[in-house]
DNA sequence: ATGTAGACTAAAGTCGACC
DNA sequence: GGGTCGACTTTAGTCTACA
């Protein structure tokens, strides 16, 4: 069982956005979140909170749980193990 | 359509924990998150990030998307509308 | 076993500018 | 259109302590 420390949602977000053929600026407009922040989310430099996940899902035309499910599918066979700090 | 500003996961977390008959301290132990932080999450004083959601789901013996789905069901007919700050 | 409070550190999220 | 940098404010998350 491989260990990971943080959930990476970036690739999933980018894929879904590309499927819709829209820009980061469009996501920014739809969510009310800053454009540079969307960029950082896609590059896994930032992590969304649950409210942000709900906003992103709405912008990407799917349900929050579906978005999470897509992220989840990338982590089959991995165990999350945080750094306790 | 009612407007809300933040997603409240607290009640869902507490219900699931009660169903398992375990303490906040047990959740703290299973997730590696601070006990006082679990308390704040249940009282909606704090918001989890996606990594925290995955950890909580594991501790509560369900899949992350199932946890999110349960939260989602409490928001039928609501629209999220953040304060842009 | 839980809520709360205070003080703290790390990370979420904004904004303006430039490439 | 998107990456990045710096400076900023707010919040996630820790920890000790007490009711």
Q: Of the candidates A2, A6, A8, which has an alpha carbon nearest to the alpha carbon of residue A68?
A: A8
- Reported as a pLDDT band with limits 50, 70 and 90, residue A82 is confident
Cβ count within 10 A of residue A5: 9
Nearest CA in chain B to A84: B32
Chain B residues touching residue A64 (CB < 8 angstroms): 68-69, 71-72
Mean pLDDT across A33-55: 98
- Give the distance, in angstroms, between residue A21 CA and nucleotide D18 C1': 56
**What does the H/E/C string look like for B27-52?**
HHHHHCCCHHHHHHHHCCCCCCEHHH
Q: Of the candidates B70, B50, B4, B69, which has an alpha carbon nearest to the alpha carbon of residue A8?
A: B50
Handedness of CA A10, A13, A17, A23 (dihedral sign): negative
pLDDT at A10 over 90: yes
Chain B residues touching residue A32 (CB < 8 angstroms): 81-82, 84
Strand duo A78-80 + B78-80: pairing:
unpaired
A34 lies within 8 A of chain B by CB: no
Per-residue pLDDT of chain B (85 residues; tens, 9 = 90+): 778 889 999 999 999 999 999 999 999 999 999 999 999 999 999 999 999 999 999 999 999 999 999 999 998 888 888 875 4
C-beta atoms of A51 and B6 within 8 A = yes
CATH of domain A2-75: 1.10.260.40
Cβ count within 10 A of residue B59: 22
């Amino acid at each position: 069982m491989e260990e990971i420390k943080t959930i990476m949602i970036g690739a999933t977000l980018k894929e879904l956005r590309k499927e819709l053929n829209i820009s980061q600026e469009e996501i920014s407009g739809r969510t009310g979140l800053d454009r540079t922040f969307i960029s950082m989310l896609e590059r896994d430099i930032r992590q969304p909170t649950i409210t942000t996940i709900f906003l992103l899902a709405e912008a990407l035309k799917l349900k929050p749980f579906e978005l999470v499910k897509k992220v989840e599918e990338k982590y089959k066979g991995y165990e999350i193990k945080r750094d306790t700090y």
